Structure 1
Amino acid sequence: MSSPDALATVTATLKSLLHPLVDDEAKVTTQPPSKARTGDDDQINIFLYSTQINTAFNNAPLPGVTRNGETAHPPLPLTLKYLITAYGANDDDISGQQLMGQLMSLLHDHPILGPTDIVGIMPDSDLDHQTERIRVTADGLSLDEMSKLWASFQSAEYRLSVGYEVSLVLIESTRPSITPLPVLTRGEADHGVIAQANLIPPYPAITDIALLSQQPNAVLGDSLTLHGHYLDGDSVNVRFKHPLLVNPIDVPVLTASSGTRIRIDIPDASADWRVGFYAVEAVISKASGQRVTNGYPLTLAPAITAIAPLNPVPRNGSGAVTLTISCRPEILPQQRVTLLLGDREVPSQAHPAQTDTLIFVVDNAPVGSRYIRLRVDGVDSLLIDRSVTPAVFDSAMEVIIS
């Protein structure tokens, strides 16, 4: 790979290739077309008008540059776009066309810039040491593209020109490679790679969580069945992670688990748990070490344990009712809590400390029977009783306002 001088080296190499076509090397210029024409002799101008990232090599280190296990920063891969213009002596069109034919023939017969062409042009560029070939190909610019290109030169008068593309030029990254130490052992006691003759991933994983209650969300005390593979071990714990928990909750698996199934009950410890979304993991310990599965999502819903006052609930003189709801697990002050009364959503009164009792004031309370749900951080308490067929609303969640 080469240094940032590679762009200038390519231009200088093209200039070196084309100078035998004119009497004087000075008549091969590398100026913008608006400043290129000097004198009345035959002249060739090589203008680098565009550099583009070569997407085929972008963000990919070259093979063979680094050893296995090392990480090298990829080089900057560039494609160079040139506009080459031929000027005939005394601006004669025939002479210009002859010169254009000669230079195109030369580049056609010289499609690769090899080390012998580049060496000595700019010694510090190291372009002659690049492993990837540097190809010179005609760039078929359309008449419209050529016209727009010349129009951008403003004062330049159009002359017979051709586009060429030079690729690939690799500029080496200045960032050092990452070279870790060699591996001493592969696993415990250097047992090497573990092979198995099936398509199951070779690590423990949870693929599904089923609720015995057949409800969409779990509540405290529910029984869970974790399905997956490689879930057996000398000891197994199920870990519950929640954003509001400082430390995750580990529930030991007391019954023997198979490799594909774990059965546990969520402890009914109201003060320790939080309503919301959990990531459930299995922590599997064996003599060879400890492994942790992926986190599988589980939603823990609030459960209403008591409603006060008992039915019927009377309205006060202004038509409002006050409901006191007991629930589990306990609610933190920063959790957003509302009561869904029929089709109305009522915010709870402020609770400055962790609590299992919430107060709701319903203004202009509608008279009649309404079902209630407790919503905590977007998770609703369970309203449907699925233990019977067909499913029905839970009658314990009915509030009658008089």
Structure 2
Amino acid sequence: MSNVLAIAATTRTLRNLLLAQVPALDAELSDLEVTLQPPDVARKGISKVQLNLFLYQVVANAAWRNLDLPGQVRPGETAPPPLALNLHYVITAWGRGENDNDALSHRVLAAAMSTLHDRGVLDGNDIRNALADNDLANQIERVRVTPLPQSVDELSRLWTAFQTNYRTSAAYEAAVVLIDSQAATRAPLPVLRRGAQDRGVIATASAAAVLDALDCPRHQSAVRLGEDIVLHGRQLGTDHALARFSSQRLDAPTDIAPLAGDTGGSLRVHLADTADDADAVSRWAPGIYTVALLVQPPGLPALLSNELPLALAPRITLGSLAAAPGDFTLNLTCMPRIRDGQRVFLLFGDRLLTPASLSNPADPKQPTALTFQLTGVAAGTYTVRLRVDGADSIPVDFSGSAPAFATDQQVVVA
């Protein structure tokens, strides 16, 4: 690796190389001077044969940008990668005198290009002698000098940026220059135990379950407590399996052991209501859930399937099924209980109302009580639905030969 003198060391090495080798190739160029100035001021005050080496661009090296340095960062350690740079130079040649001879400047340029062609990799001793205290020669990658082809458009833009008249020149790239990162390297402590019982890696021959679809009863868009859902997918089984129901409204997921489905590749999950689970009112919350299948054989890591969305519809009980036209109060209860922060609306016919009051009794087995104020209600029969976090209660009676609106979910205003 190298320190922050790397760029300057590269430039000085190239200058020294040209200054020493070009006169050796052509005795006519014995008075050569090599400068490092911008092209627009490089020729000022100089009448000798001249080469100007100008660093006009520094770009990041994409190949080294995100690599750990070999030999310094070991697996499991973290360290910022080195600053990897490609240096772009333009070399411009002049002959002698103020009105220099073009033929002589061409000889200067040809000798410079020949020198860089024969010495495409910078020598370590040349680098060390170029600038005191630089350690570019010690980096893991050698610095290579290669021609940098440029189109006419690129040359035009480049010399326009120099704000000077164009002269025949050659562009080169010196790469790669690696500058040490100053950030600390973090090395983890040795591993003393692999897992709770130092068992190491545990491999299983089976893949996790994959859920493809979820069916609610009678192809409804939601399920209610006391009903079953059917999961369809692959690698489904009941051994050591749990259907996991997760909701942002619950402190922890609810797990239910599934039963075998009626067809291959399916499982049936029963959501117990108060008839089977006295705590069902407070165990759940109406709204949107995700369902996944968790399989955890004894002594092995748990495998969790993908998740599917599910709406748990509230069940409501109306305080009164009849009312007089005009203004009146509608009371109802909701099971399971509504949690803090849930969005609650009443759909009364074509009206959308927010609750006037909402309370959960101290007894956790009792449903949520809600009150709604209705005004200017005309005579008629109105179907009532409660919407909690986007899940609507289901006001349909499926007991007959055809579905019909349930009478206990309607208010008759007369």
Q: How does 1:253-264 map to 2 (within 5 A)?
A: 253=257, 264=269
Q: What is the Cα-based RMSD across aligned positions, in Å?
A: 3.8
CA distance in 2, matches of 1:302, 1:42: 91
Contact in 2 for aligned 1:36/1:45 (Cα 8 Å): yes
Percent of residue pairs bearing the same amino acid type: 34
CA distance in 1, matches of 2:136, 2:68: 17
CA distance in 2, matches of 1:121, 1:387: 95
Q: Note the C-alpha offset of 1:294.
A: 5.3
Q: Deviations over 1:245-276 (max 9, x none)?
A: 33x1443639799xx87654334312232233
Q: Note the C-alpha offset of 1:110.
A: 2.8
Q: How does 1:205-354 map to 2 (within 5 A)?
A: 205=209, 207=211, 210-211=214-215, 213=217, 214-224=219-229, 229=235, 238-246=243-251, 248-251=252-255, 253=257, 264-268=269-273, 269-280=280-291, 286-288=297-299, 291=302, 293=304, 296-311=307-322, 313-316=323-326, 320-351=327-358
CA distance in 1, matches of 2:83, 2:395: 61
Matched with 2:75 is 68
- Does the residue aligned with 1:271 lie in a helix, a strand or coil? helix
Which AA in structure 1 matches 2:41?
K
Which AA in structure 1 matches 2:222?
N
Q: Give ranges in structure 2 of 5+ residues lacking alignment.
A: 24-28, 274-279, 362-366
Please say if 1:373 is aligned against 2:392.
no
Relative to structure 1, the CA distance from residue 301 to residue 160 in structure 2 (aligned partners, 3 Å threshold; closer, same or farther) is same
CA distance in 2, matches of 1:176, 1:139: 36
- Does the residue aligned with 1:270 lie in a helix, a strand or coil? helix
Relative to structure 1, the CA distance from residue 29 to residue 383 in structure 2 (aligned partners, 3 Å threshold; closer, same or farther) is farther
Relative to structure 1, the CA distance from residue 231 to residue 133 in structure 2 (aligned partners, 3 Å threshold; closer, same or farther) is farther
CA distance in 2, matches of 1:275, 1:79: 61
Please say if 1:80 is aligned against 2:87.
yes
CA distance in 1, matches of 2:307, 2:11: 58
Matched with 2:113 is 104
Q: Note the C-alpha offset of 1:9.
A: 1.8
Q: Note the C-alpha offset of 1:364.
A: 4.4
Q: Which segment drifts farther, 216-225 or 48-57?
A: 216-225
Contact in 1 for aligned 2:58/2:88 (Cα 8 Å): yes
**TM-score, normalising length: structure 1:** 0.79
Matched with 2:156 is 147
Relative to structure 1, the CA distance from residue 348 to residue 99 in structure 2 (aligned partners, 3 Å threshold; closer, same or farther) is same
Q: Deviations over 1:210-264 (max 9, x none)?
A: 346243333323334565648776x665554432333x1443639799xx87654
Relative to structure 1, the CA distance from residue 283 to residue 144 in structure 2 (aligned partners, 3 Å threshold; closer, same or farther) is closer
Q: Note the C-alpha offset of 1:40.
A: 0.8
Matched with 1:17 is 17
Relative to structure 1, the CA distance from residue 73 to residue 303 in structure 2 (aligned partners, 3 Å threshold; closer, same or farther) is same
Higher radius of gyration, 1 or 2: 2
Relative to structure 1, the CA distance from residue 46 to residue 373 in structure 2 (aligned partners, 3 Å threshold; closer, same or farther) is farther
- Does the residue aligned with 2:8 lie in a helix, a strand or coil? helix
Which AA in structure 1 matches 2:371?
I
Q: Note the C-alpha offset of 1:326.
A: 2.2
Which AA in structure 2 matches 1:170?
L
Please say if 1:29 is aligned against 2:35.
yes
Matched with 1:361 is 373
Matched with 1:5 is 5
Q: Deviations over 1:13-61 (max 9, x none)?
A: 2212211325689922222223322411122222222222223333232
Q: Note the C-alpha offset of 1:82.
A: 1.7
Q: Note the C-alpha offset of 1:191.
A: 6.0
Please say if 1:180 is aligned against 2:197.
no
Matched with 1:168 is 176
Please say if 1:128 is aligned against 2:137.
yes
- Does the residue aligned with 1:35 lie in a helix, a strand or coil? coil
CA distance in 2, matches of 1:43, 1:277: 79
CA distance in 1, matches of 2:64, 2:403: 60
CA distance in 2, matches of 1:389, 1:166: 85
Matched with 1:159 is 167
The total of aligned residue pairs comes to 389
CA distance in 1, matches of 2:400, 2:133: 84
CA distance in 2, matches of 1:280, 1:184: 38
CA distance in 2, matches of 1:347, 1:256: 42
Q: Give ranges in structure 1 of 5+ residues lacking alignment.
A: none
Matched with 2:103 is 94
Matched with 2:61 is 54
CA distance in 2, matches of 1:387, 1:96: 102
Contact in 2 for aligned 1:302/1:328 (Cα 8 Å): no
CA distance in 1, matches of 2:383, 2:267: 36
